[in-house]
A and B are shown apart, each in its own frame.
Chain A
C-alpha cells in the first residue's frame, strides 16, 4: 500500500472510512495517493467500495472518517461544484433536453465564461473527441459510443485537472469498448490529466492504467502497475480476480533458498515462490497462470518437480489452444498454449507431465 503522506501526491485518501448505516463499513481504512498525471483504476467486484470512494472524491458522499486531499487541500467540506473535478458517469448523464453543444457549454456557462470563448472551447473539445459535426444533435440522436465521447468531452471542456470515470464503458459492446479504451487513454495522456477510473472489467483496468487498485471488502487488496498485478499477485483474491488462474491447495513442507516445497492435498510435490507463507506446516493456496504451465519436458530443468496430468479436453481458440487437465485430483486445471507451427496438440485421454518455473508459481494465503 502507498505511503499516505507522499510529497507530490495530487489526490490523497488518508485513513478514510465510510459507513452508510452506522453498522457496516463500506470502506475500511483507505489510504491511497496518486501523483499528477497518473491514470489510476479502482478495480473490484460490485459492492467492494470502489464507487463509494469515487463518490467521496467527487463530493457526493461524505467520508465518515479520515481526510481526502486534493492538491494538498482537504476537500471533505467543499461542495462538489467547487471541487473542479470532471466526471464521466456510467449512463453518461448527458442532459436530454439540451443539444450536444449546450451540454458541453453548460460547465462553461456556470463559470460565467463569455460566449465567444465558450464556443471556441466547445468546438475544440468536440474535435478532440472526433465529434466535430455533432454539436447540434440531441443526446438521444447519438449512438452509445458517440454519447460516451460527448460525456468525456464534457468532463474535459472546463479543463479539470482531475477526471473521475465511473464505469464509463459498461454499456458499450465489446468492440466499441476496446476502441474507447485506447481513445480515453490517448486523450488522458495527451492532456496530461489525472484520471481515477472505476471498473469491474479487469481487461479494461490492465490495458488503460498506470496503476490499478484492486478493491475487495472495502479495502485495497493490492495497488500496483498492471504487469506486476498480473504476474505477482499479493494474495489469492487478486490472483483469482485478475486473469485466468489455476489454484491448487496444499501444505508447505519446507522453505529453502527462496523456494517453498508444497505438498498438495491431491498428491504431488511442487516448487513455489513463497509470497504469503513463511514457514513449514502452513496451509497455502498455490496460484499459477495457465500460459506459464509447461508440458514439454525438454524445457523444464532437470531437478524441477513435475505433476502427472490427464488430458480431459482440448479446445481450439484460434490464436491459442486451451487444454483442460486433471491435476492432483482437480479437473479444472487449464493450460493455454500459443498456436505455433511446432505446437503440440494434446489428445484427450492421454497422460502428460506438467511443470513450471518456481517463480511463476506463487504460494499465497490459504
Chain B
C-alpha cells in the first residue's frame, strides 16, 4: 500500500486533503438539491404513486381531524375469501350493506362511489343513494339492495368493486390505454366509441414529430446562415430568432389566433388579393393546423440554437477541403458538412420533440377539439373530472414514451454526441 512520508495511507491522506473542498462544494449545491427534491422529485413521485394506488374504496380520511379509517372492510374480506368469478351471494350483499352503513357514518359514500365510477360510469349515485338507506335495510340483503337499484346485480359492478377493494391497481394504466377489466378479470378493449386515449397519444406523437421535422427544415438554413455570416449580421439574426423567446407565450399564441382565424389577417389578405373567395375562407385554427403552426413558431428557437452552436464550431476549411478534392458543393454538404451537424440536429430534435409532446397552453388555445394533445386531457382529468390517478397514469405513460425515445437516441446516436449549446 502506498503511504505518505510519515506513514499515513495515501488514499486516506488524499480523502482528508479533499474533504474540506468536497464539503464546501456540497453545501453550495445543497439549496438547489433541496429545491429539486421538494419541488420536483417529491411531487412526481407522489403523482406516479397515485397512478398505481387509489385509496378511494379502501380508506376514508377525515381532513378535519386527520384520522384515516379503513372502509369497505367486510366486502374486501368477502372478495378475499371468494375467488374471481364467484357470483355474489347473500353474505356478499350483507357485507356490502354493513359497509354502506359505515360509509354513511363517515360521510364517505361519494368518495367510494367516485372510485367505482372511474371504472363504471354512472355508478356514483348508486352508492350515495344506497348509503342513505343502508340503516333501514333488512335481510335478506340481496333482495333488499337489488330492490333499491337493480344495477347492484350487475357483474361489472362487482368486478369493479373487487378491483377497487385493493388500493394498488394497474387499472388506471389500462384505462389510459383504452382498456378495462372484463367481468371475469381479463383485459379487454373499451367499446370503440369510448376509445380516446390511444388515439390521442398517437396524435400527440405524430403532431410532435411533424412539428420537429418542420422546425428542422426551417431552422437548418437560418442556423447555417447565422453560423457563416459576419458577426454583426449574425448577431442581428440571433436577436430576431430570440425575440419570440422574450415575448410572453400567451401573447404569441393569441397573435397567432388573430392571424389564423377565419376572419383573421391571413384569410382577409387572401380574400382581399382574390386568392380566396369570401365564402371559402380556410379554417386554420381550432384544428390541428393551428396547433402545428403556432407550436412550430414557438419551438423554433429550440431547434435553431443547438444547430447554430454546432455549426459555428465547424471550421469552413472542411467544406473547402472537400471541394478542393473534387466534391461538388452538394456532395461536400452531404458527406462532410451535414454529418458534423448531427449532434446539433439530435439535440434540437430531442428538445423540440420532448417539449411539444408535453405542450399544453398552445393546443388548449388554438387547438379546438381536433388539435388537442394528451397534455390537455391530463389537465382535464386534473382539474375537471378530478380523476388524478388516471391523469397520473397518462402522464407516466408519456414520461415512459419520452424516456424510451431518449434511450433509442442514446443507442442510435449516442447521448455524448448531444450538443445543447
Contact = CB atoms under 8 A, between A and B. Distances in A.
Interface stretch (B179-187, B268-276, B318-326, B368-376): B318-326
Contact of A89 (B320, B328, B335): B320
A91 B315 CA distance: 9
Contacts of B312: none
A154 B320 CA distance: 13
Contacts of B323: 59-60, 79-81
A120 interface: no
Contacts of A155: 324
Contacts of B328: 81, 110
Nearest to B342: A97
A189 B139 CA distance: 114
B336 interface: yes
Contact of A93 (B317, B329, B339): B317
Nearest to B315: A91
Contacts of A80: 320, 323-324
A106 B324 contact: no
B311 to A, nearest CB: 14
Contacts of A134: none
B327 interface: yes
A95 interface: yes
Interface in A159-203: 164
B315 A158 contact: no
Interface in A87-105: 87, 89-91, 93, 95-97
A85, A93, A97: most-surrounded residue (chain B CB, <10 A): A93
B262 interface: no
Contacts of B283: none
A154 B325 CA distance: 8
A85 B324 contact: yes
A87 B321 contact: yes
A83 B326 CA distance: 8
A106 B331 CA distance: 10
Interface in A49-100: 58-60, 79-87, 89-91, 93, 95-97
Given A91-B315, A96-B340, A58 B324 contact: yes
A95 B339 CA distance: 10
B331 A89 contact: no
Nearest to B337: A95
A93 B325 contact: no
A79, A80, A97, A111: most-surrounded residue (chain B CB, <10 A): A80
A107 B325 CA distance: 5
B326 A95 contact: no
Interface string A332-350: 0000000000000000000
A117 to B, nearest CB: 15
Nearest to B328: A81
A85 B321 CA distance: 10
How would you classify the secondary structure of chain A's contact residues: helix, strand, loop or mixed? loop
Contact of B317 (A91, A106, A110, A164): A91
Contacts of B322: 95, 106
A87 B339 CA distance: 22
B295 to A, nearest CB: 32
B327 A95 contact: no
Contacts of B320: 58, 60, 80, 87, 89, 93
Interface in B363-381: none
B323, B328, B335, B336: most-surrounded residue (chain A CB, <10 A): B323
B406 to A, nearest CB: 23
Contacts of A83: 324
A89 B321 CA distance: 8
B417 to A, nearest CB: 10
A113 to B, nearest CB: 11
A81 B319 CA distance: 11
Given A80-B320, A90-B317, A95 B336 contact: yes
Nearest to A80: B323
B310 to A, nearest CB: 12
Interface in A286-333: none
B327 A106 contact: yes
A59 to B, nearest CB: 8
Contact of B326 (A89, A93, A96, A158): A158
A157 B329 CA distance: 20
Contact of A86 (B324, B327, B336, B339): B324
Interface in B208-265: none
B326 A110 contact: yes
Contacts of B318: 93, 95
A110 B332 CA distance: 10
B121 to A, nearest CB: 57
Interface string B332-375: 10011001100000000000000000000000000000000000
Closest 4 CB pairs of A and B: A107-B325, A93-B321, A87-B324, A93-B317
30 contacts: A58-B320, A79-B329, A80-B320, A81-B323, A81-B327, A81-B328, A82-B326, A84-B326, A86-B324, A86-B325, A87-B320, A87-B321, A87-B324, A87-B325, A89-B317, A93-B315, A93-B318, A95-B318, A95-B322, A96-B340, A97-B339, A106-B335, A107-B326, A110-B326, A110-B327, A110-B331, A111-B326, A154-B321, A155-B324, A164-B324
